[in-house]
Structure 1
Amino acid sequence: MLDSTSNRTDDAARAAAAFYEVLIIGGGSAGLTVAAMLRGKIQGRMAIVDPTDTNAYQPGWTLVGGGVFTLEQTIKPEAALIPRGVEWVKQAAARFDPEHDRVGLADGTMLGYRFLIVCPGLQLDWDRVDGLAEAIGSGGVCSNYRGDLAAYTWACIKSFKGGKMIFTQPPSPIKCAGAPQKIAYLAADHLRRTGTRGSADIAFCTALPGLFGVQSFVPPLKAAMKRHGIEENYRTNLTAIDGKAKKAIFTVTAADETTREVVRDYDMIHVTPPQSAPDFLKGSPIADATGFVDVDKHSMQHVRYPNIFSLGDAANSPNSKTLAALRIQAPVVVQNLIAAMKSEVGTAQYDGYGSCPLTTDYGRIVLAEFTYGGKVTPSFPLDPRVPRYSSWRLKKDFLPFLYWQVMLRGIDVKIAHKERVFADVV
């Protein structure tokens, strides 16, 4: 492996089928962004390892499920997004050999590297809910967490004539912890606008003990739940779906940690699937005990292998797993990697910034921005806990542009996020 004072690369790495100065595992938002930022800054070959044909702006899938976007607006061909001069290895990574600076692919090929960036994202574990994989996509069982299913969410909402709606949230980690409740608000608001809200019983069932991890934003979210008449159920984890009988089975944990099983009927259920690190990361030499890449939470550099970096959802840094987080992580990784190439210690620091535009109604959003420790760090001089139309326009119109035209082109936009203290909102 590469130590902190030399540029030695193991002979096994150079003897692999191909050798790269920088090898990037994952061609999603994180991989494409760092590749674009690194292009022209390094000598030698750089490659992205990813088997998928398309790239998606996943934050847009809530609006697909809410009937605002089409799926086609959120997806582009991967080939059109790979930066010029960066090779695309259209294969899946299978194993890591950091002692010899190598990555094994699914077909058995070994690739060598001098520096490795690991950013394959999260995997969706549909099978961890009994019966979900068989039920999803029909019979009122929908999810915005897979692009091809998000349009079915909207079909379920707009055709809903009455009955029971359920929206679920599993234990952490998940992508965008606010997304499971966003679609509940949009569904309730749509029913209100079409005059059918009175015929629906809507329940939000989360495995977590609260609505949101940053307490400053809980009051406006609870106000949204109350305004929309949504029943709140905490520490209520979906464990099984009976698609034929239209029954959802939950494990409810009481204050004394005892559990009981609760069966709920549904006419429509939006399921957020359990999520975890990709299987090829779990148990690997570069992962921690939970399966995520073991990095320093500020430098995003591996704690044991200095020539390995990680960012995005696959890193074990304790930030919210959002697109906004990796936008701030990417320049930190790039700066510290370039420093490591010079046998220097990188000084760039990630402060845990994350952002979650919490859609409380059509046309209104609570723009939650925060750093490590739940410090509220808004980009604008307004109380971020107040649902605003301007934040809706930011999410609907500006953020997709920022993704496709700025982030994926490697442009580092400097936005001042300032810690502020606000009076309580009730």
Structure 2
Amino acid sequence: MPVTDAARRPTSHSVLVIGGGNAGLSVAGRLRRLGVKDIAVIEPRTEHLYKPIFSHIAGGTAPASKAVRSQRSVTPKGVEWIQDAVTSIDPDADTVTLASGSVVGYDHLIICPGIQKDWDGIPGLAEAMRTPEGISNYEFDLAQKASARLRDITRGTVVFSQPAGPASCAGAGQKPMYLACDYWRARGILSDIEVVMLVPDETVFGMPDIDRELNRKIAEYGITLRTQTTLGSVDAASRTIVTEHPVRGSETLSYDLLSVEPPQSAPDWLVGSGLTDASGFVDVDPYTLRHPRHGNVWALGDAAATLNSKSGGALRKQTLTLAKNLVAVLRGEPMPERYNGYSVCPFTVSRSTVVFAEFDDQYRPVPSVPFWKGLARERRLTWVFDRHILPWVYWHMILQGRA
């Protein structure tokens, strides 16, 4: 059906948010609580997914049902949901064009559509993920497949791979590995399974305290850790991969299961918007989260060119910073908040313990409890928080802008 002139005529909102994930809904909720009334969120999906629990689903410590709610049920009250996808932004006209052909105007625009998973970025990877041996905790369906495959394997080689470059919670690719190893050890078959982990960096994570804890678990489980190593290509038919190392060069490795965290990048439709930096992510002041050239454009989360490690845990401080700064601008006041680069990665190192990594944009410890680094140690307490408390807080408080 052709798009009519009436459909193209822009409606407008005081604040328009692109993306109805964690970042979009929680910042919209905060703005509502700060008194902003005319807010709309653009999100095409009908289901909202709690992605941090994908690792638990893949590792067999949570059912898939814990990850899903309807988008309508989690959208903050008083916020309009536009069920559509963005195709382009015109920051000079203050408009956004949608896949339906509609055009929406804005006084202020918040860009937070998340990050793009590039399954075709590694030769053979997309094909491998369609075979029984290809799994991941970075897609909902693949996480469910991973749960069954990691449970049922009894011998062979299982390879876990983490990509170079930007990624959402890059360390999360390791989490199903530790959960699976603990399960295999309990079944008495861990010695029959060769576990290989590929990481692109010089160490397993990048912080001495966290590296020490993770290396202890890697040794405990007998995992072969290959640092400075990336996945170069996959041959699904022969179940082999080619790895790349700056010194050793290319090496071929056979696998029985391949768990991959895919390469990731900024959404393609941002290209040509005039809002991105050289990386393709939305250019922002990393402390205020405001665009340096378009003062009514803001960005946060995985799509923003901030300095921090990209993670869902970074959003709590980002949404607070952005919401308070935007409201101050609306009132003609100076921006009061500065984002400190906080990020977090809870490593599920067994089926009952977590190593809780909290850090800033220079990978310096930033503990939630000041002057206590105890959360960086393997603990049962942080498992309870990560697996049971945080999901409840997410559904009932974070998405509503209350936490």
User: Could you state the TM-score of these two structures normalised by the residue count of structure 2?
Assistant: 0.94
Distance in 2 of aligned mates of 1:232 and 1:382: 26
- Provide the residue aligned with 1:234 in structure 2: 227
Whether 1:277 and 2:270 are equivalent positions in the alignment is no
Distance in 1 of aligned mates of 2:366 and 2:228: 28
Distance in 2 of aligned mates of 1:263 and 1:119: 38
Q: How many residues are paired up?
A: 394
2:375–2:382 Cα contact (<8 Å) kept = no
Shift of 1:401: 1.1
1:238–1:248 Cα contact (<8 Å) kept = yes
Stretches of structure 1 lacking an aligned partner (at least 5 in a row)? 1-14, 413-426
Q: CA RMSD in A?
A: 1.5
- Provide the residue aligned with 1:164 in structure 2: 157
Superposition map of 1:48-63 within 5 A: 48-63=41-56
- Provide the residue aligned with 2:62 in structure 1: 69
Amino acid at match of 1:162: R
List per-residue Cα deviations over 1:159-203 (Å, max 9, x = no partner).
111011100001121111221112211121111110001111111
1:38 equivalent among 31, 36, 48: 31
2:279 equivalent among 281, 290, 294: 290
Runs ≥4 residues deviating over 6 A? none
SS in 1 for 2:178: helix
Greater Cα shift, 94-103 or 269-278: 94-103
List per-residue Cα deviations over 1:376-426 (Å, max 9, x = no partner).
1222445233200011111011110111111011103xxxxxxxxxxxxxx
Superposition map of 1:14-413 within 5 A: 16-39=9-32, 41-42=34-35, 45-254=38-247, 260-380=249-369, 381=372, 383-412=374-403
Distance in 1 of aligned mates of 2:393 and 2:310: 18
1:368–1:385 Cα contact (<8 Å) kept = yes
Distance in 1 of aligned mates of 2:290 and 2:9: 24
Distance in 1 of aligned mates of 2:174 and 2:88: 36
Distance in 1 of aligned mates of 2:347 and 2:130: 25
Go from structure 1 to structure 2 and tell me whether the alpha carbon gap of 1:197 and 1:337 turns closer, same or farther (over 3 Å shift). Answer: same
2:195–2:222 Cα contact (<8 Å) kept = yes
1:170–1:272 Cα contact (<8 Å) kept = yes
Distance in 2 of aligned mates of 1:290 and 1:331: 25
Shift of 1:136: 0.8
SS in 2 for 1:210: coil
Go from structure 1 to structure 2 and tell me whether the alpha carbon gap of 1:286 and 1:140 turns closer, same or farther (over 3 Å shift). Answer: same
Distance in 1 of aligned mates of 2:36 and 2:376: 46
1:283–1:289 Cα contact (<8 Å) kept = no
List per-residue Cα deviations over 1:117-138 (Å, max 9, x = no partner).
0000001100011122122143
1:23–1:46 Cα contact (<8 Å) kept = yes
Distance in 2 of aligned mates of 1:366 and 1:172: 23
Shift of 1:362: 1.2
List per-residue Cα deviations over 1:266-290 (Å, max 9, x = no partner).
0011011101111111342111111
Shift of 1:16: 4.5
- Provide the residue aligned with 1:420 in structure 2: none
Shift of 1:371: 1.9
Stretches of structure 2 lacking an aligned partner (at least 5 in a row)? 1-7
Distance in 2 of aligned mates of 1:128 and 1:351: 32
List per-residue Cα deviations over 1:55-94 (Å, max 9, x = no partner).
1110101000111111111111101112222221111111
Amino acid at match of 2:391: P
- Provide the residue aligned with 1:11 in structure 2: none
Go from structure 1 to structure 2 and tell me whether the alpha carbon gap of 1:109 and 1:193 turns closer, same or farther (over 3 Å shift). Answer: same
User: Could you state the TM-score of these two structures normalised by the residue count of structure 1?
Assistant: 0.89
Shift of 1:103: 1.2
Shift of 1:234: 1.6
SS in 1 for 2:349: strand
Distance in 2 of aligned mates of 1:267 and 1:250: 16
Distance in 2 of aligned mates of 1:244 and 1:199: 23
Distance in 2 of aligned mates of 1:23 and 1:156: 42
SS in 1 for 2:20: coil
Distance in 1 of aligned mates of 2:104 and 2:293: 20
SS in 1 for 2:295: coil
Greater Cα shift, 129-138 or 341-350: 129-138
SS in 2 for 1:226: helix
SS in 2 for 1:280: helix
List per-residue Cα deviations over 1:124-156 (Å, max 9, x = no partner).
100011122122143311001001110111111
Distance in 2 of aligned mates of 1:402 and 1:321: 20
Distance in 2 of aligned mates of 1:377 and 1:235: 26
Greater Cα shift, 118-127 or 238-247: 238-247
Shift of 1:109: 2.2
